[in-house]
Structure 1
Amino acid sequence: MVSPVPATTARSALALGALVALCGCTGGQDAPAPTRDPAAASTAGMSAVEQRHPDVIEAELVPADDGTYDVEVTISSPYDTPQRYADGWRVVAPDGTVPGEHQLAHDHAGEQPFTRTQRGLTIPDEVGEVTVEGRDQQFGYGGGTVTTDVP
C-alpha cells in the first residue's frame, strides 16, 4: 500500500517547482540595469526656472559591428529655451577618462524628455562601466547621472 503524501510536503514541492519555473523565465540577462546616482540628482524638486543642470534619466550602451559602442541617452531639461538649454553630455570611465562627448546644437523645449544617440565611442576593454553626465550651456556639467555596464 502506498502511503499518502502529507499536504505540507505536496505544497512545498509545488512551491519549489513554481520557483524553478520562474527563475527560468528571466531571459538570460546577466547585466544589471543602469543605475541613477541619486546623490547627483540635485535638480529633483526644483522648478524649471531654478534648475541649473539637466538630468540624465536613461543611458544604454550598445555594441556596434566595428568594435565601438553607441550610447542612447535620455535627458530631462524642462528649463530649455532658445536662450539657455542642455547642450550635451559626456561619457566618463571610472578613472575619469572621457571616451566621448556629444554636443547638442539647439534647445529641446518642445520635447521633454528627449533621447539622442551618439555613435562610435571607443571604450577600452578594461573599462567595465561608464557614467553619463549632462551639460548645461551656462552652468556646465551636473544634475542626475546614469551609470551603466559596458556590455
Structure 2
Amino acid sequence: MKTILAPMLAAFMSIAASGAFAGPPEILHAEAARDDMGWKFTVTIRHEDTGWDHYANGWDVLAEDGTVLATRTLHHPHVEEQPFTRSLRQVLLPDGTRRVFIRAHCSKGAATKEPVAVEIPL
C-alpha cells in the first residue's frame, strides 16, 4: 500500500504546487468615483498567482445585463503582491446607470464566482 500512496501523494503535491487548484480571483473591494467626464473604478483582488503560467489577468466592468462596459487588463503576475489594487480611469457609462458589476478573471479562464455590485454615486 505504501508504494501506491507515495507516488499518488507526490503527484498531488506537484499539482497543488503548480497552482492547478488555485481558485478564481476574489474581489475584496471595488468602488467607483467621478473622473472628469467618466468614472474611475478601483478594484482590490486576491488570487493565488503562481507566475506567468497562472495569474489574475484582468477585470471587467459589467452593465446589469452583463454587457462588458470596460476591461482592465493586468499584464503580469502579482505573486509577491497579494492582495493588489488597480484602477481604470475614464470609463464612460450609459446615461442613467446607477449600478455596475465587477468580474475578475485569470489566465486559466476562471472568473469570480459572483460579480461584485458597485453603486454609482449620484
Q: TM-score range by the shorter chain?
A: 0.7 to 0.9
Displacement, 1:128?
A: 1.1
The letter of the residue matching 2:98 is G
Displacement, 1:141?
A: 2.5
Tell me the equivalent position of 1:39.
Answer: none
1:138 paired with 2:71, answer no
| Paired residue secondary structure (2:94) | coil
Contact 2:25 2:110 in 1 (8 A): no
Could you say which structure has the higher strand fraction?
2
Tell me the equivalent position of 1:124.
Answer: 94
| Structure 1: gaps (5+ residues) | 1-46
Q: Distance in 1 between matches of 2:49 and 2:71?
A: 22
Tell me the equivalent position of 1:59.
Answer: 30
Q: Distance in 1 between matches of 2:54 and 2:114?
A: 18
Tell me the equivalent position of 1:30.
Answer: none
> With structure 1 as the length reference, what TM-score do the two structures score?
0.63
Note the aligned Cα RMSD (angstroms). Answer: 1.8
| Structure 2: gaps (5+ residues) | 1-15
Larger radius of gyration between Structure 1 and Structure 2? 1
Q: Distance in 2 between matches of 1:92 and 1:58?
A: 16
**1:39-66 deviation per Cα after TM superposition (whole angstroms, max 9, x unaligned):** xxxxxxxx8842231011111101112x
- Identity score, percent: 32
Q: Distance in 1 between matches of 2:105 and 2:22?
A: 12
**1:5-39 deviation per Cα after TM superposition (whole angstroms, max 9, x unaligned):** xxxxxxxxxxxxxxxxxxxxxxxxxxxxxxxxxxx
The letter of the residue matching 2:35 is A
Tell me the equivalent position of 2:53.
Answer: 83
> With structure 2 as the length reference, what TM-score do the two structures score?
0.77
Contact 2:30 2:102 in 1 (8 A): yes
